Structure 1
Amino acid sequence: MNNCSRKYDGPIKSKERTSQKILDAVGEIIKEKGYAGLKIKNVAERAKVNRKTLYDCFGNFDNLVETYIKRKDYYMSFRDQADQLVNKYNKESARELVQTLLVGQLENFSTDKEMQKILLWHLSEDNPLLLAINEERERIGGKFMELSIEEFAGTNVDIRLRIGLLIGGIYQLVYNAKKEKGLFCGIDLANKDTLDRLRLTLIQMIGEAFEKGKHP
């Protein structure tokens, strides 16, 4: 009987406990060493399990990494509720949805060191696993984007490009904040007051775009 199927007393089954321990090890390695340290040997040693247990829990190493990233990724957290959110906000309140999503992305990405390194991994090499995850992320985000685009039909406001620039700006500012004296356009995102002002600015810029769409 393997470690993933043995039962223990208590509310959490052995497989769930062991799987979570392995996923935690993945996160610790990414945070400390980046994707270069993400090797099956390192994960097994950090989780204090053998390779057979890791395979019993996740099938193969790619499945393990995919499971970890999907649990951490901001937009993946909406995959089971994307349709409900679109129905909830609908066309008339698309502005509120976009503001909520982008502010949430800023807050999530600015504090999630593992996802910062995973995005750098994605940008630095054409990894099939990361490309597939990105495609799924795009499908989820696309549902929200289509709701916004409807709002701008027949106007000269390209909301897709505006949102893309804002998201790219979030990534750039966060990465610069991690460097020594990491200023970008004089912006110090490591300063809490600056982060608060950035939240407000995101809300203002999105609101201004929607107002321009109404009065082109």
Structure 2
Amino acid sequence: MKNKRFLNENLIKPLQHKRNKELTKRLFLDAALEIVRSEGFKKLGVNKVAYAAGRSKRVLYDYFGGMEGLIKELLKETDHWLSYEENMEETIKMHKSDHGRELASLAMKKHFHQMYSNPLLKELGLLELSDEQNFMSELAERRERLADQLFSISEDYFKNSDVHFRSLCALLAGGINYLILHSKTRRSPYCGVDINDFQDQKRLMRTIELITNSAYEFAKENN
């Protein structure tokens, strides 16, 4: 009986430790996100996050290696472009039959919704344009590598047409970023579009569909 109990304890303790670690990491991540939401990215610091999470900063360093590691972990959860990283093979397989037509619209709409609703992505969007940070350069490079793989689905389709699909996506993503950052800093409509208005959001989503579908139709007619 003693041996059995000893074996059970040896199995349970690592599981409890893993569960406790994940719960503690979640406390740090949620605390950091709340600080960004209420006070802005520049107020984010080890001491402040540790205090808000109710844990020591030593534990934060143990689990994340510091604030840069914590921010990278947050981005892994919230930046939808990075979500393709783990499922790239499945994504390519799923969207290859229509040459990425559905994916193009879905990806842009998801980009809008995630950036619009996530305060960290807004703050980092501004930081990316105004400051040089190593992790921002790394993030941009990771996104570009992922984009290369996603564009591989559609490149053959557009090869013999006048449509440069990467340029089209750059304009869409850049436009989405600007609309959201303009709304955050100016809190006013842009070209009469108020992205805080639900009906204007619906119109924007429909416009994204029309632009991406038109590109595919135009390429089809000119192939």
Query: What TM-score do you get using the length of structure 1 for normalisation?
Result: 0.89
Partner of 1:194 in structure 2? 200
Q: Give ranges in structure 1 of 5+ residues lacking alignment.
A: 1-6
Which stretch shows the higher mean deviation, 125-134 or 202-211? 125-134
Letter in 2 for 1:79: E
How far 1:180 sits from its partner (Å)?
A: 5.3
Q: Equivalent residues in 2 for 1:16-55 (5 A)? A: 16-55=22-61
User: Shift of the alpha carbon at 1:20?
Assistant: 0.7
* 1:131 maps to 2:137: yes
**Equivalent residues of 1:83, 1:143 under 8 A apart:** no
Of Structure 1 and Structure 2, which has the larger fraction of its residues in helix?
2
Of 170, 180, 184, the match for 1:178:
184
**Match in the other structure for 1:3:** none
Out of 205, 211, 222, the position equivalent to 1:205 is 211
Q: In the alignment, which of 58, 69, 76 is matched to residue 82 of structure 2? A: 76
Number of residue-to-residue matches in the alignment: 210
**Residue deviations 1:35-90, cap 9 Å, x none?**
21111111111111112111222233322221122221111112111121111111
CA distance in 2, matches of 1:142, 1:91: 18
- Is 2:113 aligned against 1:103? no
Amino acid at match of 1:170: I
Deviations 1:175-201 (A, max 9, x none): 223355511111111110010011111
Where does the alignment leave 5 or more consecutive residues of structure 2 unmatched? 1-12
The question of whether the paired residues in 1 share the 8 Å contact of 2:99 and 2:154 is answered with no
Report how far residue 141 of structure 1 moved. 2.1
Identity percentage over the alignment? 25
From the superposition, tell whether residues 38 and 168 of structure 1 become closer, same or farther in structure 2 (CA, over 3 Å): same
The answer to which of 140-149 and 193-202 deviates more is: 140-149
SS of 1:157's equivalent in the other structure is coil
Among candidates 102, 113, 121, match of residue 119 of structure 2? 113
